[in-house]
Amino acid sequence: MGDDHEFERVDDSVFERVDDLEFERVLEEFGPALRRLAGSYESNSSRRDDLVQEIAIALWRALPRFRGESSMRTFVFRIAHNRALTHVWRRGRVPSAEVSEAEHVTDPAESPESQLARGQRRERLDAAIRALPIVHRQVLTLALEDLSHAEIGSVLGLRENAVAVRLTRARQALRAALGVSA
């Protein structure tokens, strides 16, 4: 009991260094993007919420380390993708190209009316992105969040030309998953 109390005291002193307002501001600004990112890893809503929660915790821990050497945006996406990867491999399932082929993306031709529904198209895009191998998925979701090639390179640890190559391949794979010709 005494030990636990001591640990709580140590933790509190750590928390005092964390700027609550900064954490809230970051989550306010990037919350929607983080939920979209989580949606590219998890289709199930409760598991997606769990992942958002894990990312928020990772951010809470990492924010005191932020020294402004990169933009807050690249910092947040680095933490978020790292946490999402941990989430995926702890569950022991990292989709590969082979697995992605097995995942089914609904053919919109079956229901022309529903193609017009933006929500349904959005769901289809989400499913197609989730079906991509992780390297394609990461580079594509970052591009969809409007990050530049340099910023994506900074998040993933790649050079800009490697990002461009990877993004081209990812877009081809997404087109194929969506059944769109180039």
Partner 1 sequence: MTIKDTELESWRSLWSSDDGSSAGRSDAGSETRRAAIPDARRIAAMGRRRLVRRMAVEVVMAVVWIAVAVLLIRLRPDPALMVLGAGIVAFVAVACAFSVWNSAGIWQPAGDSVRDFVLIAVERCHRDLRAVRFGLWFAAVETALLVAWLVWTSGRDVLPEISRLPDGWLVLPVAAPAVIVAWLLLLRRRARVELAALEGVRRQFEDDWAASTG
- Interacting residues with partner 1 between 153 and 172 (CB under 8 A): 153-159, 161-162, 165-166, 171
Give yes or no for residue 73 binding partner 1 (CB under 8 A): no
Give yes or no for residue 150 binding partner 1 (CB under 8 A): no
Roughly what angle, to the nearest 10 degrees, separates helices 160-178 and 118-130? 120
Residues 53-72 contacting partner 1, CB under 8 A = 53, 56-57, 60-61, 70
Nearer to partner 1, 56 or 105 (CB): 56
Distances (CA, A) of 95 to 45, 102, 103: 19, 10, 10
Give yes or no for residue 23 binding partner 1 (CB under 8 A): yes
End-to-end CA distance of the chain: 65
Instruction: Work out how close the CB of 109 gets to partner 1 at its nearest, in angstroms, rounded to a whole number.
Output: 18
Question: Which residue intervals of the chain are DSSP H helices?
Answer: 2-17, 20-39, 45-62, 72-90, 97-102, 112-116, 118-130, 134-144, 149-156, 160-178
Residue from 19, 71, 96, 101 in contact with partner 1 (CB under 8 A): 96
Longest dimension (CA), the chain: 66
Instruction: Work out how close the CB of 66 gets to partner 1 at its nearest, in angstroms, rounded to a whole number.
Output: 10
Residues 6+ apart with CB under 8 A from 113: none
Token couple for 86: 């941990």
Instruction: Work out how close the CB of 176 gets to partner 1 at its nearest, in angstroms, rounded to a whole number.
Output: 13
Nearer to partner 1, 73 or 166 (CB): 166
Residues 99-138 contacting partner 1, CB under 8 A = 118-119, 121-123, 125-126, 133-135, 138
Instruction: Work out how close the CB of 110 gets to partner 1 at its nearest, in angstroms, rounded to a whole number.
Output: 19
Quick check: 127 and 43 in contact, CB under 8 A? yes
Give yes or no for residue 30 binding partner 1 (CB under 8 A): yes
Nearer to partner 1, 5 or 104 (CB): 5
CA-based angle 13:7:83, to the nearest 5?
Answer: 75
Give yes or no for residue 179 binding partner 1 (CB under 8 A): no
